[in-house]
Amino acid sequence: MIIDCHGHYTTAPKALEDWRNQQIANLNTPSLGPKVSELKISDDELRESIEVNQLAKMKERGIDLTIFSPRASFMAHHIGDFNTSATWASICNELCYRISQLFPGEFIGAAMLPQSPGVDPRSSIPEFEKCIKEYGFVGINLNPDPSGGHWREPALSDPYWYPIYEKMVEYQVPAMIHVSTSCNSCFHTTGAHYLNADTTAFMQCLTSDLFKLFPDLKFLIPHGGGAVPYHWGRFRGLAQEMKKPLLSEHLLKNIYFDTCVYHQPGIDLLTKVIPVENILFASEMIGAVRGIDPETGHYYDDTKRYIENSSILSDEDRVKIYEGNARKVYPRLHQFLESRGVV
């Protein structure tokens, strides 16, 4: 089985974006709407948005199931206040839930949290619990920088975040550490801000003893871990200077990386440097990079090709990357698959 652990609903019907634009236009006059009830998207519209896009490519590329969350750049936690984010997150999560019900063997949800700059993370717990208990979601996306590129929240190792971690451990739910749109002109959203955040999240964990306090906490760092694999020696050396344990003990029982790396040498580096047990298959399809690579004639985000073409990986390694590691990191996904007779 091939599980893609990083999918976003980037192809939602235009009515969703129109509703959001109206919400933003009326931030200072919320009485003018829009009301949640004014957003009308039928099941047929949802089916069409998936069948000709993500599902078609999944079938073409041999991907069986995608962990599916709201569009990352649309989270935009810096816009409005907590009520703005809470309403928007609820709408987006419900759409992903409806997708999971329309395609129950092919999509399963991961929640967007209603974060807002400077707002206590505890405020996100009701939406978190709703998505896990009512929608059957198996993960969350946690934004370490709700300010959108200005980094005003405490580091991920700070007690500020502990209420979320406590719930993650309680429900056996991992977090993909994923920022949203950059509103800092210095940082391009997908080319800089995302990769900066991946690297920053890893370093914030390295400098702390977070996983001594939360030994069962699980983080997935997307986009191949940002700069982490490329500079693995730097991180090992910094940990040594800080008198931290070896990274295999200090971080790699809790931190995992996906394969959203869009060229063969990048995947080869990732799989050579990072233990196979810490790598989960992902493509982020249809996402940030949608074009065809002129050097190969194939889509950049067809990451399964890179795994298949690797001269480093064994067949046993591929099984771990495609399925086994996802079942380990996402216990609720494993339970879901077992309930469907997929063992």
Query: For 159-201, what is each residue's pLDDT tens digit?
Result: 999 999 999 999 999 999 999 999 999 999 999 999 999 999 9
Record the tokens describing residue 245, joined without a space.
Answer: 């344990």
pLDDT of residue 276: 98
pLDDT of residue 343 exceeding 90, the answer is no
Is 121 in contact with 158 (CB distance < 8 Å)?
A: no
pLDDT of residue 84: 97
How far is the C-alpha of 128 from the C-alpha of 71, rounded, in Å?
17
> Judging by DSSP bridges, how do beta strands 65-70 and 107-112 pair with one another?
parallel
pLDDT of residue 3 exceeding 90, the answer is yes
The pair phi, psi for residue 232, each rounded to 5°, is: -55, -40
pLDDT of residue 226: 98
Mean pLDDT, range 296-320, rounded to an integer: 97
pLDDT of residue 14 exceeding 90, the answer is yes
Cα 76-78-79 angle, rounded to 5 deg: 80
pLDDT confidence band for 244 (50 / 70 / 90): very high
pLDDT in tens, 61-91: 999 999 999 999 999 999 999 999 999 999 9
Indicate the burial class of 241 (C-beta count within 10 angstroms; 0-12, 13-18, 19 or more): exposed
Mean pLDDT, range 98-122, rounded to an integer: 98
pLDDT of residue 43 exceeding 90, the answer is yes
Of 284, 316, 323, 338, catalytic: 284
Give the residue from 12, 182, 5 showing the smallest Cα distance to 88: 12
pLDDT of residue 230: 98
The pair phi, psi for residue 272, each rounded to 5°, is: -85, -35
pLDDT of residue 118 exceeding 90, the answer is yes
* HEC per residue, the chain: CCEEEEEEECCCCHHHHHHHHHHHHCCCCHHHCCCHHHCCCCHHHHHHHHHCCHHHHHHHHCCCEEEEEECHHHHCCCCCCHHHHHHHHHHHHHHHHHHHHHCCCCEEEEEECCCCCCCCHHHHHHHHHHHHHCCCCCEEEECCCCCCCCCCCCCCCCHHHHHHHHHHHHHCCCEEECCCCCCCCCCCHHHHHHHHHHHHHHHHHHCCCHHHHCCCCCEEECHHHCCCCCCHHHHHHHHHHCCCCCHHHHCCCCEEEECCCCCHHHHHHHHHHCCHHHEECCCCCCCCCCCECCCCCCECCCHHHHHHHCCCCCHHHHHHHHHHHHHHHCHHHHHHHHHCCCC
Tell me the whole-structure pTM to 2 decimals.
Answer: 0.97
In percent, how much of the chain has pLDDT > 70?
Answer: 100
249 labelled catalytic: no
Q: What is the mean pLDDT of the chain?
A: 97
Is 319 in contact with 278 (CB distance < 8 Å)?
A: no
Mean pLDDT, range 134-155, rounded to an integer: 97
pLDDT of residue 99: 98
Mean pLDDT, range 37-65, rounded to an integer: 98
pLDDT of residue 288 exceeding 90, the answer is no
Unique residue bearing structure tokens 């790699």: 252
Mean pLDDT, range 231-242, rounded to an integer: 98
Domain 3-339 has CATH 3.90.600.10: no
Dihedral-angle region of residue 183 (phi above 0 means left; psi in -120 to 50 means alpha; beta otherwise): alpha
How far is the C-alpha of 33 from the C-alpha of 232, rounded, in Å?
49
Mean pLDDT, range 224-252, rounded to an integer: 98
